Amino acid sequence: MQHGKYRFIVGFLVFPLALYALFVVWPFIQSIYYSFTDWTGLSPDFTMVGFDNYTRMLDDDTFWSSLQHSLTFALLLPVVVLGLALFFAFMLNVGGRGRKGAAISGVRGSSFYKIVYFFPQVLSIAIVALLFQFAYNPNSGAINSALSAVGLDSVKPEWLGDPKLALWCVMAVLVWSTTGFFVVLFSAGMASIPKDFYEAALLDGASRFTTFFRITLPLLWDTVQSGWVYMGILALGAESFAVVQIMTVGPGGPADSTNVLTLLVYQKAFRDGQAAYATTIGVALLLVTLAFAAVVMRLGRRERLEF
């Protein structure tokens, strides 16, 4: 009987594992291999160059600035996005009290707020980037027009044209476009927490602050940890690439102030015809992503709470 069970498990897994190896693992292996060559991406011919690409990468100032920007996204975006999402989800689910005979409920109008927060998820990230590009326009954009309307004509920044502001403008767009997803994720987790816990805390005189940190956050910690890793991967990967590619001048400007590793990989591979060097940067990005996930999982490790 046991033998038949193992044969069933192996037979069930062999096909999806083969697909995973073919479309996920094998491209990683190919990228690592090509990083030791001088392949241009335009010709099938190449030669092995050893660690030359890695030496070049370590001496590349653009790589280090792009790495700094990517790490800024990975470290700050999860804090801001998850913090906002936890606050909004808590208020939408258990932040209101004493309405319609329910001891625990969301704030008034929570159903409408859920739609508002989730709305950015309906839009493509490319559309979001284009909309905010128009909004940031220093001459006719919505933001500077609003400043003029309230009498702040002297305070009209260049936004995406200012090297000191451009990166933060991009980060604001990423916060706006991703927070809604985590509001929904955390709301689903909070809905599974028994209301009895909150009602018992209320009887003991607990405040919203206390119930959040003593009940909600500990019971939701596994979801928060997974969201932290996922948000970090988004910040290091496709989301940051799309916004920077569409919104910024260059793209990656001004003066490389918004360049990120994913955009640098794209530029080297498709603009400069340096596919081998691009894969080298891709390998570095892979290592950074794995290190980020490992650190978050290690620092966030705690005893599992069940209810």
104-127 tens-digit pLDDT = 677 787 788 888 888 888 888 999
Upstream peptide bond of 251 is cis (omega within 30 degrees of 0):
yes
Residue 92 tokens read as 């939408």
Q: How far is CA 297 from CA 67, 186, 222, 247, 263, in A?
A: 21, 18, 10, 33, 27
Please give the domain boundaries of the chain with CATH numbers for all domains.
29-133+159-299 (1.10.3720.10)
- pLDDT reading at 51 higher than 70: yes
- pLDDT reading at 60 higher than 80: yes
| pTM (two decimals) | 0.87
Share of the chain above pLDDT 70, in %: 93
Residue 135's pLDDT is 92
- Is 106 or 98 the better-scoring residue by pLDDT? 106
Residue 214's pLDDT is 86
Winning range, highest mean pLDDT, from 31-45, 136-150, 180-194, 280-294: 280-294
68 Cβ neighbours under 8 A, 6+ residues apart: none
With contact defined as beta carbons under 8 Å apart, do 94 and 210 qualify?
Answer: no
| Average pLDDT along the chain | 87
Confidence of residue 98 (pLDDT cuts 50, 70, 90): low
Residue 122 tokens read as 């309906």
Residue 198's pLDDT is 81
Confidence of residue 131 (pLDDT cuts 50, 70, 90): very high
Residue 2's pLDDT is 58
Confidence of residue 100 (pLDDT cuts 50, 70, 90): low
Question: In angstroms, rounded to a whole number, what is the distance separating the alpha carbons of residues 107 and 88?
Answer: 10
- pLDDT, average across residues 218-246: 90
Confidence of residue 103 (pLDDT cuts 50, 70, 90): low
Residue 295's pLDDT is 92
With contact defined as beta carbons under 8 Å apart, do 53 and 66 qualify?
Answer: no
Tell me which of 2-6, 66-70, 221-225 is least confident: 2-6
With contact defined as beta carbons under 8 Å apart, do 38 and 46 qualify?
Answer: yes
Residue 283's pLDDT is 94
